[in-house]
Amino acid sequence: MTKKQKAAEISAILEGLYPETPIPLHFHNHYTLLVAVLLSAQCTDERVNNVTPDLFAKADNPADMVKLDVEEIREIIHPCGLAPAKSKNINRLSEILIEKYNGEVPDNFTDLEALPGVGHKTASVVMSQGFGHPAFPVDTHIHRLAQRWGLTNGKSVEQTERDLKALFPRATWNKLHLQIIFYGREYCPARGHDEQKCMICSKYGKKEISKKVK
């Protein structure tokens, strides 16, 4: 079986399990999505969703956010971790959005990744989930699963992203990355993973990688 064939079969399994893929982070415009994704770094989506209502009640746009002191932002987002850096980044990127983009979030990778605290993965989420542009956000979880399933030998998330984009049709990327995340949480966790009870790993998994990451 080629990797392309394996990818197609895995995609069919995921589509059967998750025909609908609600976006895990709560947001109501491009700006609140950008901030929520920035906050999700090294933090669970659930915790971010518990924090953002208080933050967005005070400021759900760049103009209102820059009116808040960095210390006030930091206090609100503290449960998300890395609050000193994240609060400064939220403040500064809000200033830049006002100065350069008339308060709007840019819809291209170059401008997004130039914003403070916005890396390629964050930009990919905003591009795919916010603007609907084809993108394949790869975090450490998707990287781990792609290795387990023998879809990549990449040593970095960047290489894994390139490999997955080559294996799956472009039109599926935006939905597929969420399906992989959902499957990982439900059936293929990093710890306590039973390969024989995982319908993908039991058929396609690379056992030596599966054991290594447990």
Q: 194: left (phi > 0), else alpha (psi -120 to 50), else beta?
A: beta
The predicted pLDDT at position 205 comes to 82
**CB-based contacts of 21: which residues, under 8 Å, 6+ apart?**
175, 178, 179, 182
Correct CATH for 3-21+136-213 of 1.10.1670.10, 3.30.70.260, 3.30.505.10, 3.40.50.300 = 1.10.1670.10
Region(s) of the chain under CATH 1.10.1670.10: 3-21+136-213
> Which class is 30-130 in CATH?
mainly alpha
Q: b/e map of 70-80 (b: 16 or more CB within 10 Å)?
A: eeebbebbeeb
pLDDT in tens, 95-104: 999 999 999 9
User: Which residues participate in catalysis according to the annotation?
Assistant: 121, 139
Region(s) of the chain under CATH 1.10.340.30: 30-130
Question: Has residue 24 got a pLDDT over 50?
Answer: yes
pTM across the whole model: 0.91
The answer to whether 180 touches 189, Cβ cutoff 8 Å, is: no
